[in-house]
């Protein structure tokens, strides 16, 4: 069995294209052109010797092999993401991680950061803007600010206003 890995950039592009079922949306997510996505997918398909996608009536579908491969790749990228998150959390000494909605971060928190940084220059503030409920309370978050009644099980909550 060969230990040769497929092109890693092509895997990243495949993950995005498979998730969106769209080369155009993958291109937008990765800040490249649709042609670049198409080229990376072609490179990966040539490496593997099989088709990962098929087009039908202006839509993009995964082949059976593509679907199976995507499920495996998705888990691998998830593991890499989690390992990176843990590593960064361990190295974040002297940091304050604040989790909040993107709109609240823009409208309120960012305006006050300059004053906080002047008052506490040794603390690195990390803003984690999240949209989804399950992302709100990651292990490495020191403070979370969210709209709600504050009845989150196992957490201490303080009403800020209202």
Are residues 65 and 106 located together in one domain of the fold?
A: no
What is the CATH classification number for the domain harbouring 49? Answer: 1.10.10.10
Same domain for 63 and 97: no
- Which residue matches tokens 């993009």? 60
Please name the residue ranges forming H helices in 63-133: 64-90, 102-104, 110-119
State whether 14 and 80 are in the same domain.
yes
CB-CB contact of 27 with 19 (8 Å): no
pTM, entire model: 0.57
* pLDDT tens, per residue, the chain with 162 residues: 456 899 999 999 999 999 999 999 999 999 999 999 999 999 999 999 999 999 988 899 999 999 999 999 999 999 998 888 777 766 656 788 888 888 777 777 777 788 888 887 777 888 887 765 555 566 678 888 877 777 777 777 887 776
Q: Are residues 113 and 130 in the same domain?
A: yes
Q: Which residue has the tokens 């592009």?
A: 13
């Amino acid at each position: 069995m060969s230990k040769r890995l497929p092109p890693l950039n092509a895997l990243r592009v495949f993950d995005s294209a498979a998730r969106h079922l769209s080369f155009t949306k993958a291109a937008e997510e990765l800040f490249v052109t649709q042609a670049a996505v198409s080229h990376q997918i072609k490179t990966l398909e040539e490496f593997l010797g099989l088709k990962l996608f098929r087009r039908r009536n202006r839509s993009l579908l995964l082949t059976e092999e593509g679907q199976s491969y995507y499920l495996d790749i998705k888990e691998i990228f998830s593991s890499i993401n989690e390992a990176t998150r843990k590593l960064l959390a361990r190295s974040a000494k002297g940091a304050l991680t604040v989790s909040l909605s993107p709109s609240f971060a823009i409208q309120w928190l960012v305006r006050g950061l300059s004053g906080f940084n002047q008052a506490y220059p040794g603390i690195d503030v990390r803003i984690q803007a999240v949209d989804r409920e399950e992302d709100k309370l990651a292990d490495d978050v020191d403070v979370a600010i969210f709209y709600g009644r504050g009845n989150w099980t196992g957490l201490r909550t303080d009403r800020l206003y209202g």
